[in-house]
């Protein structure tokens, strides 16, 4: 085979460059791995709004990636064209959850590895990653931060709230304070001593406290 033969591009020859069996195995396994990734995404999702379209993307992305890699590995000229075509593509969809980036890379990596013929690596790696994702994303800890919103009347009630929280929770840090005509609204970041949240019921019953709200906080925070 000469150097010129490598860069020949014949449509009829390209038809048989990838066998039907290879295509069927790669796309079937890519679909199965996509379903696994989608299932892990649903089990580990901790955001506010679940996106069904993103779940469908996780199923189809391994198949699309495997399709592209099969085409690229079968023809050098086509691989050069793919590189040029993909280099001008720009995706501007915002990623709302940082963990979604891991799922996107996971889907792409599975498609690449399957198309390369490394089936055991794709299957074992996906199962292992899925187990890690489910275990750590669903791990609930009472040390997770909460936001307590307390509305009270006057400074005396405010002092009572601060004293009560210091005795009832592991850690309490005031984040904001709003005063309006004798009404004081306090926002605390708190860490619980245990999983019991009944203290908020007793807090709302203190003299001068109008209401108390406890909200789970899933945002970024410093240790």
The length of the chain is 223
pLDDT tens digit string along 102-149?
888 888 889 888 888 888 898 899 899 888 888 877 665 556 678 888
Three-class secondary structure of residue 184 per DSSP: strand
Residue 150 has pLDDT above 70, yes or no: yes
Q: What is the gyration radius of the CA atoms in the chain, in angstroms?
A: 28
* pLDDT tens track for 32-80: 999 999 988 888 876 656 677 888 888 898 898 888 888 777 665 555 5
The lowest-confidence range among 23-27, 91-95, 165-169, 199-203 is 91-95
Residue 51 in tokens: 């996106």
User: At how many degrees (to 10) do helices 98-115 and 119-137 cross?
Assistant: 160
Together in a domain, 11 and 92? yes
Q: Is residue 222 assigned to a domain?
A: no
Boundary of a domain, candidates 101, 120, 137: 137
Kindly write down the DSSP assignment for every residue of 40-88, as one continuous string.
Answer: HHHHH--SSS--HHHHHHHHHHHHHHHHHHHHHHH-HHHHHHHHHHHHT
Same domain, 185 and 80: no
Mean pLDDT within 10-23: 64
Domain that holds residue 181: 145-216
Number of domains in the chain: 2
15 against 197, higher pLDDT: 197
């Amino acid at each position: 085979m000469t150097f010129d033969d490598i860069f020949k591009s014949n449509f009829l020859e390209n038809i048989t460059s990838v066998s039907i069996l290879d295509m069927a195995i790669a796309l079937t396994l890519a679909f199965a791995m996509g379903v696994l990734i989608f299932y892990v995404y649903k089990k580990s999702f901790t955001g506010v709004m679940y996106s069904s379209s993103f779940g469908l993307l996780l199923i189809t992305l391994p198949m699309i990636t495997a399709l592209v890699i099969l085409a690229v590995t079968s023809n050098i000229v086509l691989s050069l064209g793919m590189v040029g075509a993909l280099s001008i593509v720009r995706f501007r969809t915002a990623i709302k959850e940082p963990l979604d980036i891991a799922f996107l890379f996971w889907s792409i990596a599975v498609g690449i590895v399957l198309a390369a013929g490394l089936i055991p690596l794709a299957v074992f790696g996906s199962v292992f990653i899925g187990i890690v994702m489910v275990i750590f994303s669903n791990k609930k800890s009472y040390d997770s931060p909460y936001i307590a919103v307390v509305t009270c009347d006057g400074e005396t009630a405010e002092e009572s709230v601060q004293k009560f929280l210091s005795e009832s929770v592991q850690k309490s840090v005031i984040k904001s304070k709003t005063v309006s005509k004798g009404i004081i609204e306090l926002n605390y970041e708190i860490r619980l001593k245990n999983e019991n949240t009944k203290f908020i019921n007793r807090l709302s019953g203190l003299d001068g406290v109008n209401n108390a709200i406890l909200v789970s906080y899933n945002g970024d925070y410093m240790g």
